[in-house]
Structure 1
């Protein structure tokens, strides 16, 4: 890979991640990018699921409000 990178950005990254090669620095940055993207996908999936079926919605186990009421009475 051959690319131009902001010199200040590269210098700051090298300070934080000293001792490695630029290649390992880029690889670590790409892994972090993919991890962040996957985390965002999971967050979106949870948000979508909760918007489609709110926590308060009753299911085969009952409903959260009744459960919490019963739990606080003990």
Structure 2
């Protein structure tokens, strides 16, 4: 997934107006998201949280709360 995002970003960088502040900020934002998906980097993200690549799919399942205090 990270590689696909990076390929898209690279294609965009070739055609985009990098002097546009919003475009430059978006590219940096997208690169951080790609880093989050990369299992070697394991960057923490403000929206997605900390990526825990070492856990398997079963360990990543969110636990259901049984009540207000749990």
Provide TM-score, normalisation by structure 2: 0.35
Q: Which has the higher contact order (CA 8 A, sep 6+)?
A: 2
Q: Which has the higher strand share?
A: 2
Q: Which has the higher helix share?
A: 1
Provide TM-score, normalisation by structure 1: 0.33
